[in-house]
Structure 1
Amino acid sequence: MIKTVGVDIGGSHITSALVDDITSNIVAGTYFRGTVNSKASKDLIFKDWSRVINKTLQSINSNETIGIGFAMPGPFQYKTGKAMFEKNDKYESLYQVSIIDELVDYLDSKNVVLRFLNDAASFGVGGKLTNEFNDKKRVVAITIGTGFGASFLIDNLPVSDDYSAPVDGCLWNKEYKDGISDDYFSTRWFISRYCFLSGKSNIYGVKDIVNMNDKYTAQVFEEFSNNFNNFMLPYLLDFKADLVLVGGNITKSQELFLPIAIEFWKKNGVDIPVKIIQKSEEANLIGAAYLFNDAFWGRIKDGLPSV
């Protein structure tokens, strides 16, 4: 039986772990995390990735075929495994590089099969697999951190071509105000907006803004809440969602915006449960490893988005 590893690729980190294909739990002693300089050369990025993945491979110590599923941010050709990162301030040295063809040279095991899924879709699949949501059929999964991720699931399957879901099944690139949604629902928006309002410059993350706990903190979160509530409402209505999963670094500050969002959506016809997934990276790993579930792969492989 093939062993399955989940890998989560972030803007500044990578995590890797063996996932039990029966229980969908991460196997103890196989979880590793490392930092990545996403602006480095291709060689250095692959060395950073492989350093972590190889630790998991070494902990497995198996001669069997190992399936490695990647929770990968876009833009990316998920069918072919080719990176399309361009003009998005991360992994640009991998532009048009085949991860399938080139990363294997850095791995300790050559007996591997690589598959790829959008990181937000991986989060949605993993979040639903590891919680008791079997009665929920239409799920919207949202991650807010270095970027804005979203996926739309019907019966555990991320959809990109259903009439009720947005084009490509994602939201990060949808038009909003003077740009796209990723410009407004990400760490960089919080930092930029807080620094603009306060005149301060020594702010490096949302945690710093929360710790300031001043009038500008309140204003930033109020603006974020208003933008987020109004942006998400039509998508939740169109999709007829019966559950929302929320993950990413923003969950650490969820009390500052999520109750407002839930109340707003409720008043506007979306009265559904909202579940915080605290261990977002673990959900990403589990969802990515699920690419090696034969039934799931058979249903998803032909519909994987190309970017």
Structure 2
Amino acid sequence: MEKNIVAVDIGATKIHIGIVRGSHIVKEVKFPTNAGTSKEDIVNNLIRGIESLEVKDFQGIGIGVPGLVDEKQGIVYDLVNIASWKEVHLKKYLQDHFHKPVRITNDANVFALGEKIFGQGSRFQNIVGITMGTGFGTGIIANNRLYSGSFSSAGELGSIPYLDATIEDYCSGKFFKNQYQISGKEVFERAEEGDKLCRDILNEFGKQLGNAVKILLFILSPEAIFLGGSVSRSFKYFEDELQKSISTFPFKKVLNKLVLQPSEMSNVAILGAAALIVSELSEEKISAPKVKKEIIS
């Protein structure tokens, strides 16, 4: 019988909590983060949110956050747009209260792991998940395991200097705001209506994203790259230029094998957070020592 997992997505404006059973969200609740309040108030609201779902038996709590994480200790540092979360011992708070395992990582890692456990990434050993919304995040699965590096910050490709700014400035929603003073949402909507200028803007975006993908290919050489976040909904409008851009990558055998596509998962943040617990339990089973039985004569 499939057991429940509590999955949490903490964002700057809202907290989303779901009860995941198998690959389905069976209960969920969303409420404002109240980012201007104290860290204790936000943690207490999180606890009350979990309790409101009235799940008595669950395997653990998986959490994705947009910031740095000491994954072993479960300490969250410098959470984006939540000023009071400079250092929050979130794992200890929740484990002391619920007496269940808690695992926390960066939200881009959650996306990649969710794609690996529940999505199209299950058939690959090495994948990268790219999230493109207000920012640009990258999660890495290497040899079937999440690789998060020091403080859950591996793969922060968006901070690499690029042209006159950074990769994030050219490969996320910031590109549309900074270069054309328009939101990514409006560009997509107008492209859907046949607006040539907006389709040209998305073509340019595809070219820039292709340059970022080539850097990933040189460093990580994944078998598959999955795109998520709000900007990925425009994929059909920037796909051609994206493919044209990456076609200049010199290692053709790597390129010919590469799968590059938008994620087909809905509620990826919640399913990905649940995947943290699924992954941890699987690792425990794999690493559990075998006890040799001794015959006493």
TM-score, structure 1 length as denominator?
Answer: 0.75
Q: What does the per-residue CA deviation read over 1:48-87, in whole Å, with 9 as the maximum and x for residues that have no partner?
A: 534533333x1x233xx6511111222232232222217x
1:250 paired to 2:231? yes
Q: Give the unaligned 5+ runs of structure 2.
A: 288-297
How many equivalent residue pairs? 273
Tell me how far 1:144 sits from its aligned partner: 0.8
- Partner of 1:218, secondary structure, is helix
Q: What amino acid sits opposite 1:226 in the alignment?
A: K
TM-score, structure 2 length as denominator?
Answer: 0.77
Distance change (3 Å), C-alpha of 1:242 and 1:292: closer
Tell me how far 1:181 sits from its aligned partner: 2.6
Would the aligned equivalents of 1:143 and 1:246 in 2 still touch at CA under 8 Å? yes
1:77 paired to 2:70? yes
- What is the aligned partner in structure 2 of residue 164 from structure 1? none
- What is the aligned partner in structure 2 of residue 31 from structure 1? 28
Distance change (3 Å), C-alpha of 1:262 and 1:38: farther
Tell me how far 1:117 sits from its aligned partner: 1.8
Q: Which has the higher contact order (CA 8 A, sep 6+)?
A: 1
Q: What does the per-residue CA deviation read over 1:226-285, in whole Å, with 9 as the maximum and x for residues that have no partner?
A: 221112202213322211111111222111213321343245332322232241334423
Would the aligned equivalents of 2:77 and 2:87 in 1 still touch at CA under 8 Å? yes
Task: Write 1 or 2 for the structure with the bigger share of strand.
Answer: 2
Distance change (3 Å), C-alpha of 1:297 and 1:118: farther
Distance change (3 Å), C-alpha of 1:38 and 1:153: same
Q: What amino acid sits opposite 1:61 in the alignment?
A: K
Structure showing greater Rg = 2
When structure 1 is superposed on structure 2, of 113-122 and 11-20 the one drifting more is: 11-20
1:181 paired to 2:178? no
Tell me how far 1:143 sits from its aligned partner: 0.9
- What is the aligned partner in structure 2 of residue 240 from structure 1? 221
Q: What does the per-residue CA deviation read over 1:12-58, in whole Å, with 9 as the maximum and x for residues that have no partner?
A: 232222233xxx41242x233333243444245335534533333x1
Distance change (3 Å), C-alpha of 1:15 and 1:291: farther
1:293 paired to 2:271? no
- What is the aligned partner in structure 1 of residue 138 from structure 2? 150
Would the aligned equivalents of 2:59 and 2:101 in 1 still touch at CA under 8 Å? yes
**Aligned-residue identity in percent:** 23
- What is the aligned partner in structure 1 of residue 290 from structure 2? none
Q: Give the unaligned 5+ runs of structure 1.
A: 162-166, 196-202, 300-307
2-structure distance, mates of 1:169, 1:120:
9
1-structure distance, mates of 2:273, 2:114:
7
- Partner of 1:61, secondary structure, is coil
Q: What's the C-alpha RMSD, in Å, of the aligned pairs?
A: 3.0
